[in-house]
C-alpha cells in the first residue's frame, strides 16, 4: 500500500514539484481504480494528503482503471504523460491548472514511479 505520508514528504523535496507548484493553491486527486488519494498543495508544498477526499472536491483529478495506472507506472520508464495523451488516463476538472503546473504533475508521477520501483510493488499495492 502506498504510504501517503512518504509520498507527501518526497513531493515536498522534489524540485519540479516544488518549483512548478510554487504559485498553486489547489487539490490534486488521483483515482486509481476505485481508490482515491487527495493531495492539497499550497505554494509548492503538500499540506495534506488523505485517502478520504473532502466534499468540496479537487482542482483537477487524474483518473483511470487500475490496469491503465499500471501501464503508466510499471517498468523502467514513467509513462504518465503517454497514458493521459492516449486516453488511458483522463484529467477532469480544471485542465488549465493541470497544464500550467505540468512540471509538478510530472514530479508527482516521478515520485510515484520511484516509490513503486524502489519497493518492488505492483501498482495495485500503491493504493
**Does 123 fall in a domain?**
no
**Does 17 fall in a domain?**
yes
Band of pLDDT at residue 122, cut at 50, 70 and 90: very low
Band of pLDDT at residue 118, cut at 50, 70 and 90: confident
Give the domain range for residue 75.
Answer: 4-118
Query: Residues with Cβ < 8 Å from 124, sequence gap 6 or more?
Result: 33, 66, 70
Decide: pTM greater than 0.95: no
Query: Residues with Cβ < 8 Å from 104, sequence gap 6 or more?
Result: 16, 17, 18, 19, 20, 21, 24, 41, 44
Please give the Cα distance from 45 to 119 (Å, whole number).
24
* pLDDT per position as a tens digit, 69-115: 999 988 788 899 999 999 999 999 999 999 999 999 999 999 999 98
- Write down the pLDDT at residue 22: 94
Query: What is the CATH number for 102?
Result: 3.30.1050.10
**Does 106 fall in a domain?**
yes
**Does 90 fall in a domain?**
yes
- Write down the pLDDT at residue 46: 98
**Does 125 fall in a domain?**
no
* pLDDT per position as a tens digit, 21-65: 999 999 999 999 999 999 999 999 999 999 999 999 999 999 999
Tally of domains in the chain = 1
Amino acid at each position: 500500500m502506498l504510504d501517503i505520508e512518504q509520498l507527501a514528504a518526497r513531493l515536498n523535496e522534489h524540485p519540479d514539484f516544488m518549483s512548478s507548484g510554487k504559485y498553486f493553491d489547489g487539490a490534486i486527486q488521483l483515482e486509481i481504480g476505485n481508490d482515491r488519494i487527495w493531495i492539497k498543495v499550497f505554494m509548492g508544498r503538500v499540506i495534506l494528503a488523505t485517502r478520504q477526499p473532502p466534499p468540496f472536491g479537487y482542482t483537477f483529478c487524474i483518473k483511470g482503471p487500475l490496469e491503465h495506472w499500471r501501464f503508466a507506472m510499471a517498468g523502467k520508464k514513467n509513462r504518465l504523460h503517454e497514458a493521459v495523451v492516449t486516453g488511458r488516463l483522463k484529467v477532469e476538472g480544471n485542465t488549465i491548472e493541470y497544464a500550467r503546473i505540468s512540471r509538478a504533475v510530472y514530479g508527482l508521477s516521478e515520485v510515484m514511479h520511484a516509490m513503486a520501483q524502489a519497493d518492488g510493488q505492483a501498482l495495485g499495492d500503491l493504493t
